[in-house]
Chain A
Amino acid sequence: MRESIARVEATRPARLQDGPPPAMTPEEREKVLAEYHPDYKAEKKRELAIGVSAGNVVPSEVADMLEAHLLVDPAKIDLSRVDYDLDVLIIGGGGAGTVAAIFAHQEGIPAENILIVTKLRHGDCNSTMAQGGIQAADRPEDSPAIHYIDVMGGGHYANKPELVQAMVDDGPEIIRWHEELGVMYDKENGEYMEAHGGGTSRKRMHSCKDYTGKAIFNPIRDEARNLGIPTLEFSPVIELLLDGEGKAAGAITYNLETGEYRVIRAKATVLATGGFGRVHIQNFPTTNHYGATADGLVIAYRAGAKLLDMDSVQYHPTGVVYPSAILGQLATEKLRSQGAMPLNADGEAFVYPLEPRDVEAAAIIRECWSREKGIETPAGIRGVWLDTPMIDEIHGEGTIKDWLAAMWTMWNRHGIDITKDPALVYPTLHYQNGGVEIEADGETSVPGLFAGGEVEGGVHGKNRLMGNSLLGYNVFGRRAGIAAAKWAKKKKSKIKTLSLQHAVDFEQQLADAGIETDLQSPMLLPDYRSKSVLERSLGRFV
């Protein structure tokens, strides 16, 4: 590896002078995607056999999860004893869920009639882990229309147009809301320091150093706490409830620590459960938090919610390869937007650093496995260099430590100084591009069920651009929260019937389709115990 680093150092002065290689043409992009992107391997996907989106092609791991047995036999659940009677139930304590709760409250629902239920802690979510930034078209050189074009092109024109319109239109207003909440955006002389992201044609990435996700989410959570919005932690939803007429009516939660279930009746429900990184599609490592296990897709699908664009998966181009202890963790796109170039073993720049994520990832895979120009670690994993020392060369010494502090700290904990040496990276499973199909106000195909954040499908098409997940969860969390509040306010009386018949029916559909599986879902948490432990496990207490 040291020899290869010497070659990187040798080519650095010329690269600093010449700039990056040119961006690919649309034809070149299509070619590298078709040949190298994991999404384009037809044998790794299959059609859903049952449910409202039967016939949709999804990753095999997702199909397995959607076509699995119920976690709990509905006959064991006593629906006559209601533990919580709510106006608005929010499922998921991450970004979208918390935003939805705040806006449902602003729309007139008293805090005590709202409840955020969440699998782990309030704030164990991908929203808090985002590093690079949030897009919003607020500069005079930019416009919502230009933002729209970037999003559609990046998403391969599969995005639902009205959702993209909603997102780009709401963007600047979301940034102002964050200002009111006290989010500390990076500014210079009173102006936002806005940068490019992969696939953007204008600089519209607002950042908070490389802690953007945390710096936005924590004030949002703090505000929810100030407003007194109640939370129920370590209590994932294992099944939605319907009212006997196909409308959302609440949910069943399962306490991870006591094993107890709870019955929640709600006039409106917001699904904000995030994505599926911990399902490890095609065995990729992931940047995602521990609870990202596609639970929301599973429970919504059983309740009759349509899915959209679930065939596409986002692999972030630059996950950590070395040291292997932190394999797959995120190396933010901001490193590239500040000038770091991806390089092969010979120190050659082989790709424009800010292609849309799917294209950039495919180019890195090609460099490692077709052109055989990757760098192999002692653990036998291949990657390419990300020439981080270029950042301080371009922007001045101290830039990395001041503005990319999280990245510097992450590698420094393992004895790697990215101001001096390049980092080794490879694509890592990052984002669920599709999900539960929504309309512009977060409505799903199940009346009374609204969705926002990574669990929704339609906003990002087949490939999300950097900075549109933070924007997306704010825009659609807010819209879903407001729509849920309006829905609840229209219902003057309590829901009379609570039913799990849809879950019973789903089991029957599995049997009718001849699907044989040992899997039960939702998955709730991945299991990383070693094989040697599992082989001898009696499973009494764990």
Chain B
Amino acid sequence: MSTSSENTIRIYVMGSAYEVPRGLTIMNAMEHAGWRFTRGAGCRSGFCGACSTVYRHEGDYRLRFVLACQTEAEDGMYLVQLPFTPAPRVSYTLAELNPDENVLLQHYPEIARCVSCNTCTKACPQDIEVMDYVQAALRGDIAQTASLSFDCIQCGLCSMRCPADIKHYHMAQMARRIYGRYMSPITEHLEDRIAEIEKGVYEEELDALVKMTRSELEDIYAARVVE
């Protein structure tokens, strides 16, 4: 039963009802109601995955998955936070891997248990096509796995929902690192510049700059040509 007014809404935190002002994020609404987080709050800007939240609307059976810091609280939300995912990750030595099409399957064999139910995708608060990247990983397509999972913030909701117990986000992190190291070319001029610095090409110029007075530096700064 909703009791919202013009300025307030009612939310249910783990079953208990609270009246809170309209227009707050779920996180701010819980704090307004008296919560002081240790777990369940991190960057507060949608980048860290600490505030994974599951809710359903009053009168609706469907569970929804969001970040508490990025989602406005609505009247009649039944809320619970899932601040930790007990998902094992596999250790590896990136420099010694053979980055072939089997590498992800070898380290995370459970991806072969995927039943294509798409529950992971529905659980993703970042709207990532999670099942598609698991399928890409199964095909050995590391580039596709890396690119589809790029926006992952490792909140773990996919793995909490998966009926096959796949550890999507750990596997995807590994895929992105393999792609970055082995499949994305190093820009040549980076190596050139490092060699120059090692040879001391800029040493004299920098040493001179370090010794300059403020007014000398001001003159150089004022004469800069902006590309």
Interface positions of A (Cβ within 8 A of B): 23, 26, 120-121, 123-126, 128-129, 137-141, 143-146, 148-150, 152-153, 157, 161-162, 164-165, 168-169, 172-173, 175-176, 179-185, 187, 190-192, 196, 200-203, 209, 211, 213-215, 218-219, 222-223, 225-226, 228, 234, 256-257, 287, 289-290, 323-326, 329-330, 379, 405-406, 409-410, 413-414, 525, 527-530, 533, 537, 542
A530–B24 alpha-carbon span in the complex (Å) = 12
Task: Identify which of A137, A218, A525 gathers the most chain B CB atoms within 10 Å of its CB.
Answer: A218
Contact A213 B47 (CB under 8 A): yes
Tell me whether A184 and B146 are in contact in the complex, defined as CB-CB below 8 angstroms, given that A234-B38, A324-B23 are known contacts.
yes
Tell me whether A162 and B210 are in contact in the complex, defined as CB-CB below 8 angstroms, given that A176-B191, A181-B177, A182-B179 are known contacts.
yes
Tell me whether A172 and B190 are in contact in the complex, defined as CB-CB below 8 angstroms, given that A124-B50, A326-B25 are known contacts.
yes
The reply to whether the CB of B115 lies closer than 8 angstroms to some CB of chain A is no
The reply to whether the CB of B91 lies closer than 8 angstroms to some CB of chain A is yes
Contact A410 B46 (CB under 8 A): yes
Contact A191 B187 (CB under 8 A): yes
Task: Identify which of B34, B44, B181, B197 gathers the most chain A CB atoms within 10 Å of its CB.
Answer: B44
- 17 examples of A-B residue contacts, CB within 8 angstroms: A120-B42, A129-B48, A138-B193, A140-B192, A148-B209, A149-B209, A152-B209, A152-B217, A152-B221, A173-B194, A176-B191, A214-B153, A325-B24, A326-B45, A405-B151, A409-B126, A528-B31
Which one of A121, A223, A330, A528 lies within 8 Å of B45 (CB-CB)? A330
Interface positions of B (Cβ within 8 A of A): 23-25, 28, 31-39, 41-48, 50, 70-72, 89, 91-95, 126-127, 146, 150-151, 153-154, 173-174, 176-182, 184-194, 197, 202, 205-206, 209-211, 214, 217-218, 220-222, 224-227
Task: Identify which of A26, A234, A329 gathers the most chain B CB atoms within 10 Å of its CB.
Answer: A329
Which one of A129, A144, A149 lies within 8 Å of B224 (CB-CB)? A149
Which residues from chain B contact A172 at a C-beta distance below 8 Å? 190, 193-194, 197
Which residues from chain A contact B205 at a C-beta distance below 8 Å? 143, 145
Given A144-B202, A192-B187, A256-B38, output 9 extra A-B contacts at Cβ < 8 Å: A123-B48, A157-B217, A169-B202, A176-B186, A184-B176, A191-B189, A209-B150, A410-B46, A530-B34
Tell me whether A257 and B38 are in contact in the complex, defined as CB-CB below 8 angstroms, given that A172-B193, A201-B227 are known contacts.
yes
Contact A325 B28 (CB under 8 A): yes
Contact A179 B33 (CB under 8 A): no
Contact A138 B227 (CB under 8 A): no
A173–B191 alpha-carbon span in the complex (Å) = 9
Which residues from chain A contact B178 at a C-beta distance below 8 Å? 182
Contact B146 A325 (CB under 8 A): no
Which residues from chain B contact A146 at a C-beta distance below 8 Å? 224
Q: Lowest 5 CB-CB distances: which A-B pairs, in order?
A: A182-B177, A182-B180, A153-B221, A182-B181, A533-B34
A257–B43 alpha-carbon span in the complex (Å) = 19
Which residues from chain A contact B50 at a C-beta distance below 8 Å? 120-121, 124
Contact A190 B187 (CB under 8 A): yes
Contact B47 A145 (CB under 8 A): no
Task: Identify which of B194, B202, B220 gathers the most chain A CB atoms within 10 Å of its CB.
Answer: B202
Which one of B41, B185, B218 lies within 8 Å of A187 (CB-CB)? B185
Which one of B37, B174, B194, B206 lies within 8 Å of A165 (CB-CB)? B206
A535 to chain B: closest CB distance in Å?
A: 11
Which residues from chain B contact A290 at a C-beta distance below 8 Å? 37, 41-44
A141–B209 alpha-carbon span in the complex (Å) = 19
A150–B186 alpha-carbon span in the complex (Å) = 26
Which residues from chain B contact A161 at a C-beta distance below 8 Å? 209-211
Contact A289 B42 (CB under 8 A): yes
Contact B42 A124 (CB under 8 A): yes
